[in-house]
Structure 1
Amino acid sequence: MIKVKVRLRPIVSKINLPTVLKTTILPGDSIESLFIVTQVGEIFYIRNGVIRTFFDIRPRILKLGLSSGGYDERGLLGLAFHPKFYYNGLFYLHYSVAGTQGPGAFPGAPQESFKPNPCDARTLNLKWTNREIQYDHIDTVEEYILHPNGQPQKRRTLLHIRRPFFNHNGVNSLNFSPETGNLILTTGDGGSGYDPFNLSQDDMEIAGKIIEIDVGKHTFIDNPPVVTRFNELPVPIQETLTVIAKGVRNIPGISFQRFYNQYIKYAGNVGQDLVESIFSFIHYKPIPVTRLIQASFMRSEPEHEGFINFGWRGWEGAFPTSTITGCSANPALNEKTIAYYDEAVKTSARRLPPLISYFHEDRRTDKFRATALTGVQPYMGNEIPALTGNVVFTDLARGKESRLPVRGALAYTRVRTDCKLNDFSVIETDYNFGSQSAYYVSLGTNLNQTKLYLGVYGSMKVVDNNQGTVFEIVP
């Protein structure tokens, strides 16, 4: 693949951790503004080089970083503008609600303590019980309207979702489909590690899914119940939902690329210990939630032909999910043990193979060791010809071969419609971050995908304030 080098042009700096970067045209305006969402609850927009506050919901956001040493995956995670936002002023937010902190689904145990043991069946068949009291927090998806005076006002709540752990809530989790005009919510598997309750493969669980919401249907239920499963939702809300995909571990949103008269969909799945993956698909057959519930009630299986399954937790990208054990005789080596063999077999024929996998351990000189996928965006501009029509992605931090200070990774892969596993190439950047760490935390684009924006943070901790910079990626 062609070696590509780009420049990072700073747009704004000294902001909090940016979770979403996207553009829209404000009602009454004539040019696009860049919107920046921060994890702590701010939404800014930049127009003609001037940064302004669009909305500040920090009081509504859960206190972040208190129980995890400053690191957190909760907060303000999603922003989407209605396709007719210019005319109707509607936009949508996904965030973790203040005052909802619980003890977690494993009370008293650290989130990352779970590890499946193929020799102990109990670890392979855990159930999430006492959900009303054993949970970590509550996420909400809400609809707002921007009034002519520039003031946003909440109109209704679409979903209240109880989450078992603090991590794997998705990020850049709200986007509108240009095909259906519906709102798409991407949810992670609920967290901990290795999906201890196998929520991502359970058709009734909201966790670990890509969900389409018909916001044109008004349910007149403005304060829906807090739920974890589809069958706990009131029927009018069930009727607004379809499920596009399951088997999701954690996901930095979904993006769309126009391809002749159809769209390629891209979704990244953050890996466990081995591999990061990007999936792509054109044709799919979503299943209405009402049909999933009916099949569950009848104890039958719904028709899965055309339904997307990323394979988690049995599969981590292109590999059966494995636990890693160090080799006592040689610390440089380790042993990978298939964690969920039966589940890997069960989902092997149904799962969608990834477009690309890249690895936590990779000694090739032209690659890098991965940490976590943080963004996937098609680039349709002409200013960087080598990237035109290709798919750009970001990884949080180059892995173990990197010395401090930390640097994120920017890379690209080509479009393939034959579903064969793809290669990728690292994109070189010229920016000098000096002694400051630079975690690549978000990737965004403008409306016609001719510009790319990169969110960088100087720390892994959300409590380390004002260490963020947003760049435009330019030739």
Structure 2
Amino acid sequence: MIKAKVSLRPIVSKINLPTVLKTAILPGDSFESLFIAAQVGEIFYIRDEAIQTFLDIRSRIIKLGTSEPGVSRGGYDERGLLGLAFHPEFYYNGLFYLHYSVAGTQGPGALSEHYRPNPCDPKTSNLRWLNRETNYDHIDTVEEWVFQPNAQPQKRRTLLNLRRPFFNHNGVNSLNFSPETGKLILTIGDGGSGYDPFNLSQDDMEIYGKIIEIDVGKNTFIHNPPVVTRFSEIPSPIQETLTLIAKGVRNITGISFQKFYNQYIKYVGNVGQDVVESIFSFVHYKPIPVPQLVQASLMRAKPSQEGFINLGWRGWEGDFPTSFIKRCSENPAVDEKIIAYYNEAVKTSVRRLQPLTSYFHKDPRPNKFGGTSLTGVQPYMGNKIPSLTGSVMFTDIAQVKESQSPVRGVLAYTKAGTDCKLNDFSVVEIDYNFGSQSAYYVSLGTNLDQTRLYLGVYGSMKVSDFNQGTVFEIVP
């Protein structure tokens, strides 16, 4: 692949951790503004090169950087403001959508200890999430808001309230509209912990580990929807607005679309466990209406899965059967990798979608890198960086190098594949001096026609280390 080189143009600095970067045209404007959602609950926009506050919901966000009462996570957190999407008719109707973790909903968590499967003990791979009303970590909400030109934006209605078992794997950039269907897409992780202890991602009735389409044009207006964990718990009028696109998700960096002739290629990034990070692509899919799923469950039947997308987790971590790593004490340079869920890997082997490309936490090949966690996937359709035109760009939060200090994230790219083979990828060289500060690449975004790329960088992995964020435009 062609070796590409880019530079970074700072747009705004000293902000809190940026989770979503996207543009929209404000009602009454004739140009796009760049919107930046910060994990702590702030949304800014850049207009005429000046930063302005669009919305501040910090008081609505759960206290970040802590877990159950009295237990600290050292400032690291995966909750907060995670999704922002503008209605396709935002210019005319002012509607936008938020996904965030709700203040005051902290619970004790669904497990009292760190989970790790043990292939020698089948009980460890058949855990159940019991007593869900008390054994949970927090509640997430998906809401519809309306922008008012001469007043503060106002919440209009709640679409979903979700009780989550663990603090992590909530997704990021989790709300996006489909240019194909005009519907809102919620991308949501497997519920958290590690190794999906309750196998929620493959259970058709569980909300977690799924990609869900929401028809926001159907005004259900149930004032305060119940807090749910399963599709069967959702009131029928809300069920009627939902279809299921995919399952087998571990943790996800949103969904993006690339126009290809008269159809769209869809891209989703699935964050890995211990071995590999993966990007998937698909064009055709057959969503399953949620009422059909619920009815099939009541009848103890299985709806047709033909054309349904399955990313393979938890049996598969990208292109590998899910494994856990056992350190070899006699040879620290070598790890033993043990298949965690052999039977599940076999069961999903022919049903799963194969990745477009994967990259690894350890990679001995020249011109590659060891990754940590996938943070963004976006197509680039601009021509200012010709070597990248038509590419699928992706970011990893932190490159693994034994001698690297301070930390640097990674920008890389692959090409849209049509031959059903695993694609290669190439690292993009960045000509920018971050100085002595760490630079974690935490988000990736584009403008409306995907001709501009934006990169969110943070100086720390901790959401509680404030004002260490910079948003850049990626330029030639």
Write the letter of the residue equivalent to 1:66: T
Q: Distance in 1 between matches of 2:313 and 2:257?
A: 22
Residue 9, structure 1, aligned to residue 14, structure 2: no
* C-alpha distance in 2 between matches for 1:417 and 1:401: 36
Q: 1:220, CA displacement in angstroms? A: 2.2
In the TM superposition, structure 1's runs of 4+ consecutive aligned residues that sit over 4 Å from their partners are none
Deviation at 1:150, TM superposition (A): 4.1
Amino acid at match of 2:382: G
C-alpha displacement of 1:389: 0.6
User: Relative to structure 1, is the Cα distance of residues 295 and 454 closer, same or farther in structure 2, using a 3 angstrom cutoff?
Assistant: same
Given candidates 103, 108, 120, the residue that maps to 1:103 is: 108
| Cα distance between partner residues in 1 of 2:5 and 2:297 | 51
Q: CA deviation at 1:14?
A: 0.2
Q: CA deviation at 1:66?
A: 1.8
Partner of 1:85: 90
Deviation at 1:364, TM superposition (A): 1.4
Distance 1:51 1:432 in 2: 24
Distance 2:312 2:108 in 1: 29
Distance 1:100 1:299 in 2: 34
Q: Deviations over 1:98-120 (max 9, x none)?
A: 0000000013x3xxx21100000
The 5 Å alignment of 1:211-250 reads: 211-250=212-251
Q: How many residues align?
A: 471
1:273-312 superposed matches below 5 A = 273-312=274-313
1:426 aligns with 2:427: yes
Asked if structure 2 preserves the Cα contact closer than 8 Å seen for 1:23 and 1:34, the reply is yes
**TM-score, normalising length from structure 2?**
0.98
Give the Cα–Cα distance (whole angstroms) in 1 for the partners of residues 243 and 468 of structure 2: 38
Give the corresponding residue for 1:57: 57
Measured in 1, the distance between the counterparts of 2:140 and 2:403 equals: 35
**Paired amino acid for 1:237:** I
Whole-angstrom CA distance in 1 between matches of 2:39 and 2:453: 20
- The superposition leaves residues 202-249 of structure 1 with CA deviations (integer Å, 9 ceiling, x where unpaired) of 000110000000000011202100000000000000010000000000
Query: How far apart, in 2, do the equivalents of 1:442 and 1:42 lie?
Result: 15
**2: CA distance, partners of 1:220 / 1:391:** 38
* Cross-structure match for 2:464: 463
Counterpart of 1:12, as a letter, is V
Q: 1:395-423 CA deviation, whole Å, 9 max, x = no partner?
A: 00001435210000000001112321000
CA distance in 1, matches of 2:359, 2:221: 45
Q: Secondary structure at the match of 1:252?
A: strand
Which residues in structure 2 correspond to 1:256-275 (within 5 Å)? 256-275=257-276
Aligned residues of 1:6 and 1:427 also touching (Cα < 8 A): yes
For residues 419 and 86 of structure 1, the distance between their equivalents in structure 2, rounded to whole angstroms, comes to 39
**Take 1:386 and 1:322, find their aligned partners in 2: how far apart are those partners?**
36
What one-letter code is carried by the residue in structure 1 that aligns with 2:55? F
| Residue 23 (structure 1) aligned with residue 11 (structure 2) | no
Query: CA deviation digits over 1:281-336, x for unaligned, max 9?
Result: 00000000011111111111110000000000000000000011011221111100
Q: Is 1:202 aligned to residue 207 of structure 2?
A: no
Deviation at 1:182, TM superposition (A): 0.2
Q: Match of 1:173, as an amino acid?
A: S
**Conserved? CA contact 1:80–1:91, under 8 Å:** yes
Unaligned runs of 5+ in 1: none
**Structure 2: how far apart are the matches of 1:262 and 1:312?**
27
Matching of residues 44-443 of structure 1 within 5 Å: 44-67=44-67, 68-107=73-112, 109=113, 113-443=114-444
Contact 1:158 1:222 in 2 (8 A): no
In 1: Cα distance, 2:333 partner to 2:429 partner? 29
- Cα distance in 1 between the residues matched to 2:401 and 2:27: 47
- What is the distance in 1 between the residues matched to 2:323 and 2:190? 17
* Alpha-carbon distance in structure 1 between the residues aligned to 2:149 and 2:8: 35
Structure 2, unmatched stretches of 5+, are: 68-72
Look up the equivalent residue of 1:220 and give its one-letter code. Answer: F
Over residues 335-372 of structure 1, what are the superposed CA-to-partner deviations in whole Å (9 max), with x where a residue is unaligned? 00100000000000100000001000101120000100
1:461 alignment partner AA: K
Q: What is the root-mean-square deviation of aligned Cα atoms in Å?
A: 0.7
Identify if the C-alpha distance between structure 1 residues 35 and 407 changes in structure 2 by more than 3 Å, giving closer, same or farther. Answer: same
- Whole-angstrom distance in 1 between the partners of 2:422 and 2:404: 30
* Separation of aligned partners in 2, 1:171 and 1:313: 19
- Provide the C-alpha distance between the structure 2 equivalents of 1:38 and 1:222, rounded to a whole number of angstroms: 27
User: Is 1:257–1:263's contact at 8 Å kept on the other side of the alignment?
Assistant: yes
Whole-Å separation in 2 of the counterparts to 1:338 and 1:150: 56
Alpha-carbon distance between aligned partners in 1 of 2:47 and 2:246, rounded to the nearest angstrom: 36
Distance 1:400 1:387 in 2: 25
Taking the aligned partners of 1:242 and 1:400, their CA distance within structure 2 comes to 42
Question: 1:148 Cα shift?
Answer: 2.9
User: Which letter maps to 1:249?
Assistant: R
Query: In the alignment, is the contact (CA less than 8 A) between 1:369 and 1:401 conserved in 2?
Result: no
The C-alpha deviation readout for 1:181-211, integer Å capped at 9, x for no partner, is 0000000001000000000000001100000
> Retained in 2: the 8 A contact 1:43–1:55?
yes
Q: In 2, are the aligned partners of 1:210 and 1:244 still within 8 Å (CA)?
A: yes
SS of the equivalent of 1:151 reads strand
1:165 maps to a residue whose letter is F
Structure 2 residue identity aligned to 1:63: K
SS in 2 for 1:145: strand
Q: Quote the Cα distance in structure 1 between the aligned partners of 2:152 and 2:464.
A: 28
Q: 1:125, 1:463 → 2: CA distance? A: 36
Q: Could you tell me which residue of structure 1 aligns to residue 70 of structure 2? A: none
Please give the secondary structure, in 1, of the residue aligned with 2:428. Answer: strand
- The corresponding residue for 1:43 is 43
